[in-house]
Every structure is written in C-alpha cells, then in structure tokens.
Amino acid sequence: MFNDIGPMELLTIIVIAVLVFGPDKLPKVIQDVTRTIRKIREFSESAKQDIRSELGPEFKDFDFEDLNPKTFLRKQLGNDELGLQEIRNGFDLKKEMAEITDAVNGHDTGSSGSSAASSDSAQASSGGRVDMTKKPEESEKDDRPPFDFDAT
C-alpha cells in the first residue's frame, strides 16, 4: 500500500504524529486507523464478491484491474506498451537536440549549401546578430499565405 514512501518520509510522518497526538494517545490513534483501513478493505472485497456473483458464471475470472484503460489495452495488445517501444528506439533525443542547438546558434549542419555560407558571412560581419530593421526581400513576401480575417 505504501510502496512509494521512503524512510525519511516515514520518519517525518512519525515525528509529526507524535507532535500532533502526543505519545500517550498515539497507540490508540494507530489502532483506530488500522481498524478503519481493515473495515474499508473488507467492504470493498464484499462489494467485489457481490458484483462477481451478480454478473454470473461467464464473468467468473473477471478482474477489476481490467477496468483501468491502460491495463485493458496492455492486455489486449500484448506487453509491448502500445507499440511505443519501437518509437522510443527510433528516436534519438541527443541528436535532435544537437541539431536544434546548431540551428539556433547559426552553425551550418551541412545541408544548406551556399545560401548558408552567405548568411553565415553576413551574420559574422554583424557580430552574429540578425538585422531586424531590414525589410524582407520580395520573394519572401510572395511565399507567405494570405491573411484570413475570418479564421481568427
């Protein structure tokens, strides 16, 4: 039930419990909490048994964990985690991040050719900065799609 609580977290909970309830009342509080948890578990188990008996013999091996969509899909599609393992193997995050970093820093990755060399020399002359006051060329204006006022 508490598999994800570490030793420091458990120690913190114990110290807070001692401070809040005091060492005199703490054993009584622990007994009450365990009794309540036990009753909740008994209630849930009896409810599961009632549901199984009402469903009939065709659902004898019905497992309530199958109601979780992830568990259901894993059971139906196999243990491949929905085919994501193949996608994870084909994706190299370090390579992608290096390419993006090079593109942002303006380094040539070897795919642009002479246009990249001319833009690199222009950036080198301006100290690596792009001149935002310069108007774009006419060919760049024509490549833009028209602005649609109705789409916004």
**CA angle at residue 8 from 36 to 13, to 5 degrees?**
30
Query: Rounded CA gap, 61 and 49, in Å?
Result: 12
* Model confidence band, residue 117 (pLDDT cutoffs 50, 70, 90): very low
pTM: 0.40
Q: Is the pLDDT of residue 68 over 50?
A: yes
Token representation of residue 114: 């002479």
Residue 131 lies in a domain: no
User: Which has more pLDDT, 7 or 115?
Assistant: 7
CB atoms closer than 10 angstroms to residue 81: 14
* Total of domains in the chain: 1
Mean pLDDT, residues 4-15: 88
The verdict on residue 91 lying in a domain is: no
Query: Which structural domain, as residue segments, surrounds residue 38?
Result: 7-62
Band (pLDDT 50/70/90 cuts) for residue 108 is low
Residue 31 counted as domain residue: yes
Instruction: Please determine, for residue 124, whether its predicted confidence score (pLDDT) is greater than 70.
Output: no
Domain annotation covers residue 110: no
Confidence of residue 1 (pLDDT cuts 50, 70, 90): low
Rounded Cα–Cα distance for residues 144 and 79 (Å): 47
In a domain, 58, yes or no: yes
Q: How many CA atoms lie within 13 A of 115 on its CB side?
A: 2
The whole-number pLDDT of residue 38 equals: 97
What are the backbone angles phi and psi of residue 136, rounded to the nearest 5°? -70, 155
d(CA 83, CA 127): 48
- Range of lowest pLDDT (16-20, 21-25, 37-41, 116-120): 116-120
Give the whole-angstrom CA distance, residue 127 versus residue 141: 26
Establish if 15 belongs to a structural domain: yes
Distance, CA of 107 to CA of 123 (rounded, Å): 11
